[in-house]
Each structure stands twice: as C-alpha cells, then as structure tokens.
Chain A
Amino acid sequence: KNEVEQSPQNLTAQEGEFITINCSYSVGISALHWLQQHPGGGIVSLFMLSSGKKKHGRLIATINIQEKHSSLHITASHPRDSAVYICAVRYGSGATNKLIFGTGTLLAVQP
C-alpha cells in the first residue's frame, strides 16, 4: 500500500464544474504540498499546508491532520486547469526527512 493515495486517478469535467481531488496518507507529516504538472513536465507548486485551509484564486486546499486527509478544490473549472495534480507529503526528521508523492490525478476539463 502506498503511503500517499490520491483519488480519483482520472477525472473528466465540464467547464464550470466544481472539482475535488483527494489525498490520504498514512504517516505523520510536517507538511503537505499540492503540485500541478502540465504536459511537457514543468511542475508548479500550488499550496503548502500544515493545517487548516488555504485559498488562491479559484483553488482551495484543505487538510485534516487527525484524519490524515487533504483535498484540493477547483471552483469554476476551466480547460486551462487540465493537468496532473500531485499530492506530496513531507515526513521524518533529520537525515530521514523526505518528500513522498502520490501517483497523481489526471484532470481533463472539456469546454
């Protein structure tokens, strides 16, 4: 079982829909990152969370530390939101500190 699980793996939405991507993890973490990767490789950091909720434009990220769960919401989705969304958690301390990644959610927003 992967330490970081994302769902769904694939998601197709119509423009304007509200989208939710989920991330569950099994380890104690110090931070959680949501990343966006467009075709061609470049990765952009969307959020870094250690508690609560953050909002940036149409994107909202929440985290529940007790339940080991985070969600990424996209309001009023647009075709340019089509990308792979990756959840990553940082855990461990000192020499064992590392970042581990979910397998990603491929989002396609159709006009």
Chain B
Amino acid sequence: KAGVTQTPRYLIKTRGQQVTLSCSPISGHRSVSWYQQTPGQGLQFLFEYFSETQRNKGNFPGRFSGRQFSNSRSEMNVSTLELGDSALYLCASSWGTYTGELFFGEGSRLTVL
C-alpha cells in the first residue's frame, strides 16, 4: 500500500513569489491535513480537508490556502512568499476527519530567498 506522497520534496523561491505543494494521501483516506515545521515555532497546524471541504484552519494568514480534489489529493498554496515562510511543510492523511491515526508524508522543504 503506497504511503503519503508529497511533491516537490525541495524547492527554492524568492520573496513575493507563490508556491503550490501537492499531497497524495493513502488510497481510501479522505482526510488530509497540512502542517508547517520551523526550528523556531516547531510543528503548527495549517488546515484540514475532508471530502473536498476545509473543516478547520490554524492561525495562519490568508496567504496560506488549500484545496482538496475529488480523488482526495490536496494542494496548498502560499502567495506573496516571505522569508519566514521557509519551512518544512508536511501533510498527513487519515481515514476520517478529527479522528484516526495520522500517516505523514516526507514533507516539502521550502526555502525562500
């Protein structure tokens, strides 16, 4: 059974650009959640999607957005990148929303110059 796949694994952007990250969940999982990890703030919850609907959102500015497609694949977008957006972005999938074991991808490491 394939795990959670995140693409791209590494990317470098400059301030002001935008970026789109992709997450393909484990087959059959309908919930995808996104997290930001930085050395200073640790792991922080971004948002969670279930059946194409955003169910909840963390305390991040509107520059951070996401969506989920009918096949449960999810994308997150960060617009007008800032230096502080440099981080490891992780997604996790689970069978149900709010409950269930989380299965994490390897992450997308974003560097903003």
- A residues at B contact (CB < 8 Å): 30-31, 33, 35, 41-45, 48, 86, 88, 90, 92, 94-104
A41 touches B106 (CB 8 A): yes
Interface size grouping (class) on chain B:
20 to 34
B58 / chain A contacts, CB cutoff of 8 Å? 98
Given contacts A90-B98, A94-B56, A99-B33, contact A45 B104 (CB under 8 A): yes
In the complex, the number of residue pairs spanning A and B with C-beta atoms less than 8 Å apart equals 56
B44 touches A101 (CB 8 A): yes
In-complex Cβ contact of B103 among A45, A92, A98 (8 A): A45
A98 touches B45 (CB 8 A): yes
A97 to chain B, nearest CB (A): 5
Q: With the chains together, A26 CA to B55 CA distance in Å?
A: 23
A92 and chain B: residue at smallest CB distance: B56
- B residues at A contact (CB < 8 Å): 33, 35, 37, 42-45, 48, 55-58, 88, 90, 92, 98-104, 106-107, 109
B43 touches A97 (CB 8 A): no
Other contacts beyond A43-B92, A45-B102: 6, CB < 8 A: A43-B104, A48-B100, A92-B56, A96-B56, A97-B48, A98-B45
B42 touches A43 (CB 8 A): no
Q: With the chains together, A35 CA to B42 CA distance in Å?
A: 13
B36 to chain A, nearest CB (A): 11
A42 touches B100 (CB 8 A): no
A30 / chain B contacts, CB cutoff of 8 Å? 98-99
B100 / chain A contacts, CB cutoff of 8 Å? 48
Taking each of B42, B106, B109, which has the highest tally of chain A beta carbons within 10 Å of its own beta carbon?
A: B42
Taking each of A42, A98, A104, which has the highest tally of chain B beta carbons within 10 Å of its own beta carbon?
A: A98
Q: With the chains together, A100 CA to B48 CA distance in Å?
A: 13
A101 touches B56 (CB 8 A): no
Given contacts A97-B55, A98-B58, A101-B44, contact A43 B101 (CB under 8 A): no
B102 / chain A contacts, CB cutoff of 8 Å? 33, 35, 45, 48
B17 to chain A, nearest CB (A): 23
Q: With the chains together, A41 CA to B107 CA distance in Å?
A: 7
